[in-house]
Chains A and B, each alone.
Chain A
C-alpha cells in the first residue's frame, strides 16, 4: 500500500518536540509527509533571547522558523491553515473538520499523527486532535488511516495505559536538535543546555531525543 504520513498540529514547534524523529524516519525512507500547521503561534510567550520579536512581528518570525524546521525534517508539503493561536477550540469546528477532510481525501494518508484529545494540555492541542478524529471518522470504516496520538498530560499513562507504539530514533537525535534550533524564538532558552546534557548522556534528555512514543487511537470504536 502506498505510504503517506499526515501530521496535524496547531503550533509551529509542536512537531519538533514529540515527532521530529518519526517524521525524519519517514522522509529519509522516501515516504512523503504532509504537515498541516493550524496557527503561527501568534500568542507565544517566548519572544527570543535576547528579545527579537514583539506581538506583531512574532507570526512572521515563526513562519520562517517553521519553514526552516521543515527543511531539516525533509517535509516538502507544509500547509499553514492561517488560524489564530489559542482560538482553535472556539472556531467553527465544522469548517475546520471539512478543511482537514479535504486534505485527507486529497493525499489519502496511510498514517495520521496528531494530539490525543483530553491528554495534550494546551486547549489548541486537544481541539486539534478532536477535529482530526472527527474528520477521519467521516471516512467509511476500513478506509481510515492509522492514527498515532500524542499524550503528555499528567497521569495520561495511568488512564490510557503505556503507549503501544515506540519508535526508536537514535539515528536522528542530532537532527532533532537542529529542528528544535530552527524554532529559535521559542527554544533559544533551553536548547543549548539540552545539547550539552545530550553530549553528557543525561538519561532523560537522551530518551527525549532517541525515543518517540504514541498511542494508536481506536478510530473505529
Chain B
C-alpha cells in the first residue's frame, strides 16, 4: 500500500458511483489489547461482503483521512485511513495504520465478492 493521495482517491471513488459493490469494513484494537492493558476497553466491528450501491462518496481530512458514502439506503463512513491501493483485481483497498504500522481499520470496495 502507499500513502493516500486524496485527489486520486476521490477520482477512484467517483468512478464507482451507482455500481453494485461488495464492502469489507473492519475496525480493530487487536485481540490482546485488554490483555496488555486491563483498563483498555476493546471494541471493534467487522463485516465482509455486505452489498451496497452508493450515490456519492467523498474523502475528507488532511490525513489520516475520512471517507463517507451516501448509499441508496443509508450511510457508511470510515476514519483513520492512511494508506491505499488499487490491487491487481481492481479492488479499492484502504487501511489505517498506527504509528507502529499496525492495522487499526480496513475499508475495501470491490465489484466482485471478496473471498470468504
Contact = CB atoms under 8 A, between A and B. Distances in A.
Band of interface residues on B: 20 to 34
Nearest to A84: B116
A45 B93 contact: no
A49 B99 CA distance: 11
A120 to B, nearest CB: 10
A54 B1 contact: yes
Contacts of B35: 121, 153-154
The main secondary structure of chain A at its interface with chain B is: loop
Contacts of B69: none
Nearest to A57: B87
Interface stretch (B7-15, B53-61, B71-79, B102-110): B102-110
A57 B106 CA distance: 13
Nearest to A48: B101
Contacts of B85: 54
A154 B30 CA distance: 17
B91 interface: yes
A121 B87 CA distance: 34
Contacts of B30: 45
Interface string A70-108: 000000000000001010000000000000000000000
Contact of B38 (A43, A50, A154): A154
Contact of B93 (A55, A123, A189): A55
Contacts of B26: 43, 55
Interface residues of A, number: 22
Residue of B26, B93, B101 with most partner-chain A CB within 10 A: B101
Contacts, number: 58
B28 interface: yes
A122 interface: yes
Contacts of A189: 100-101
A137 B83 CA distance: 48
A23 interface: no
A48 B108 CA distance: 19
A45 B104 contact: yes
Contacts of B46: 43, 86
Given A86-B31, A153-B35, A55 B108 contact: yes
B66 interface: no
Contact of A121 (B24, B31, B91, B100): B31
Interface of A: 43-51, 54-57, 84, 86, 121-124, 153-154, 189
28 contacts: A44-B103, A45-B30, A45-B103, A45-B104, A46-B101, A46-B102, A46-B103, A47-B95, A47-B102, A47-B103, A48-B101, A51-B97, A51-B101, A54-B1, A54-B95, A54-B106, A55-B93, A55-B103, A55-B106, A56-B91, A86-B31, A86-B46, A121-B32, A121-B35, A122-B31, A122-B32, A124-B31, A153-B35
Given A51-B1, A54-B95, A153-B35, 16 more contacts: A43-B26, A45-B102, A45-B103, A46-B102, A51-B97, A54-B106, A55-B103, A55-B106, A86-B31, A86-B46, A121-B31, A121-B32, A122-B32, A154-B35, A154-B38, A189-B101
